[in-house]
Structure 1
Amino acid sequence: MDDSPSPKRSASRFEPRIAGMLCYVLGFITGLLLLTIEKDNRFVKFHALQSIFASAAVIVTQLLLGGIPIIGWLFGLLLAPAALILWLACMLLALQGRWFKLPVIGDLAERHAQRF
């Protein structure tokens, strides 16, 4: 996969790197918004889908861990800062124009970005 975003502007009227970064700002909310707006730019669609899938994975994991007394809660406490670091890294890498793929989720996002 080419490491640079498509040079054309996205349908959101932002430069693709900025739109890619914005996909992560509010997690699945901005991911869904930019996925709905974006028609042509695969870079933006990829990051929107990756944001949606990553947010969903973190939310589901947090809910599952919350149901397990003590050990689940402790792992849940570790998940929060890890999710924050992941969120910041994804925003920074998208802003740099990189197609950084998260394990499993990135491949899924890439496959679906080609379909939309």
Structure 2
Amino acid sequence: MQHNTELSVAEQDDISRNKTVAVLAYILFFLPLLVAKDSRYAMYHANQGLILLLTGLVANVVLGLIPVIGWLLLPVANLAVFVLAILGMVSAARGERKPMPLIGGLELIKAPS
């Protein structure tokens, strides 16, 4: 976790200007792609939001196809996705670039240089 004292002025400005978009990226991952495409901070959280969406989709499809046991595990998986979304939103609101547990290490959306 980076502390704001370790960040450059440009990075702090990027975070403060795009914090709301970063939080909303966990609901609409593509929002930063439309309104903050030059923001490394917003793109980081857009990437996390996309990973979360894909994880939820895969979990729902796979568990939905498994009779009984899968159907019983489906609410647990959806709750886990919801909890990860809340953790991501809190991280974004705090100005952090903290990857989500287990799935946050993937990079599907490249941040601008």
Task: State TM-score, norm by structure 1.
Answer: 0.76
Q: Which of 65, 68, 71 is the matching residue for 1:70?
A: 68
Partner of 2:86: 88
Partner of 1:39: 37
* SS of residue in 2 equivalent to 1:15: helix
Shift of 1:39: 2.6
Query: How far does the alpha carbon of each residue in 1:67-105 deviate from its partner, in whole angstroms, 9 at most, with x for none?
Result: 000000111121122221111111111101111112464
Matched, 1:114 2:97: no
How many residue pairs get aligned? The number is 108
CA distance in 2, matches of 1:34, 1:2: 21
Q: Which of 20, 23, 27 is the matching residue for 1:21?
A: 23
Structure 1 unaligned runs (5+)?
A: none
- CA 1:3–1:113 in 2, change beyond 3 Å: closer, same or farther? farther
Partner of 1:58: 56
CA distance in 2, matches of 1:88, 1:101: 13
CA distance in 2, matches of 1:40, 1:3: 22
Structure 2 unaligned runs (5+)?
A: none
Return the letter of the residue paired with 1:114.
A
* CA-based RMSD: 2.5
Task: State TM-score, norm by structure 2.
Answer: 0.78
* SS of residue in 1 equivalent to 2:106: helix
